[in-house]
Every structure is written in structure tokens, then in C-alpha cells.
Amino acid sequence: MIHIHYFTFSPFAENTYILWDETKETVIIDPGCLAQYEKEELADFIADNQLTVKHLLQTHTHLDHVFGSAFVKRKFGVKMLMHKNELPILSNVESRCNMWGIKGYEPVEADGFINEGDIIKFGNSELEILFVPGHAPGHIAFVNHDQKFVIGGDVLFRGSIGRYDFPLCSYTDLMNSIQTKFMTLDDDYKVHPGHNEPTTIGLERRTNPYLNQ
Ligand SMILES: [Zn+2]
């Protein structure tokens, strides 16, 4: 049984996910902790619950999703895994932080690449990878079919969809990813997004204005 906890970090209100099971093995997804106290909050949660971090995973590498990635790699001695199409996004994070006047970002590099169909294992649990480009060129999502949830990043939100006005975004790819990878899941799949509260595939199928034009 996978437990899911999330923190909402930084001025961008980014959701950082911590998943673990009965073995206490853990994955951290999109660590957006920027301030020192946010990094301590994350580390304290791991320590207090006696969790063992196995992987650092990135749905994508926009700045708000990687603020704390270097810290997590160093603190827990884990590798950062992402899709290789994110390389041009990740390499641009430092200059975008400078543009936005954001201080405290520590540059980070990927340690390995993952792609659609790959399985991430931790403890007795598995996450399957979906390739869902559009909001970012190498955006991926993590699905668990036993418990019917998706850690979805910035693809589908409650009543909205990911932005498609950033460099290297594609509206066509985004809509195709949503329709072919998310909306083909059953209604009772829960979606845990990169911002704001969770939703379900069924709720979005019925009410999301971007999907019902
Ligand atoms: Zn993003």
C-alpha cells in the first residue's frame, strides 16, 4: 500500500510528493523546496517517518519543480531520473531564475533517463511511466494501477490544464497527451497535480472546460 504525502513549496506553490510503502522505501517527486526551512521540513518528514529514499524523480524540470533537487540528491545520496527531452529545460533553469530574480537555486544535473513504459520500483511497489509532452518537451507522469492514481505534474489540473505558453511548450502535444494518456484511464483514477488540489479523471471528464469545448 503506497502512502502519498505532499508539501506545497516556494512562491510558486509547487506540490512536492513523497511516496512510500510498508517497507519505508520512498520516492521523492519534484522537490520544489527553495527556502532553507522548506528543505528542513522535507528532511524532517523523511527522518521522523524513518523513510529510506530510493529515487528522485522529475515529472519535468521547470524551475519550480527542481528548486530542491540538488539538495535531495546530496542529502539522501540518490540519483535524479527524468526524461532526456528535459535537458534543454533543465539547462536553462539558472538563467530563468536570474530573470525572475529568484535566489537560492542550486544547479542540478540528471543522473539517468527514463521513458514511457519504464517501471520505477521501491519497496513492494511500482510506478509506471507515461510520456506526456506538451507543457514541457520531456514531461512524464507516474501511474499506479493497483491504487489507481497518477502523479501528473503540470498536465491536467482541477478545472484546468498545464500552461502552454512557455518556451518549448506545445498545445497540440499537451492536448494529445491528455486525451490519449490521461482520459483513457478509468473515472476513479485520482490525479495528484503539480499545483493545487487533487482531482479525478471522472471529474475532469465531466467538468473540465478545456476538454469540453
Ligand atoms: Zn511546469
State the DSSP string of 52-63.
Answer: EEEEEE-S---H
Q: What residue segments make up the domains of the chain, in order of their start?
A: 3-207
- How far apart CA 179 and CA 181 sit, in angstroms, is 6
Quote the ligand 1 centre to 162 CA distance (angstroms): 7
Q: Which pLDDT value is given to residue 213?
A: 62
Distance CA 201, CA 69 (A): 29
Please tell me the distance between residue 155's alpha carbon and the centre of ligand 1 in angstroms. Answer: 8
CA of 59 to the centre of ligand 1 (A): 9
Distance 166 CA to ligand 1 centre (A): 9
Find the 191 Cα to ligand 1 centroid distance in Å.
16
Ligand 1 centre to CA of 177 (Å) is 15
Mean pLDDT, residues 9-27: 98
Average pLDDT over residues 45-68: 98
**β-pair type (25-29, 14-20):** antiparallel
CA–centroid distance, residue 144 to ligand 1 (Å):
22
| Separation between Cα atoms, residue 30 and residue 192, nearest integer Å | 12
Average pLDDT, the chain: 97
pLDDT above 80 for 77:
yes
Report the predicted TM-score, pTM, of the whole model to 2 decimal places.
0.97
CATH architecture of 3-207: 4-Layer Sandwich (3.60)
- The residue type found at 70 is A
Q: Which residue's C-alpha cell is 528535459?
A: 86
Enumerate the H helices of the chain as residue ranges.
Answer: 36-48, 63-66, 69-76, 87-90, 93-100, 171-177, 201-207
Q: Which residues pair with 130 in a beta bridge?
A: 141
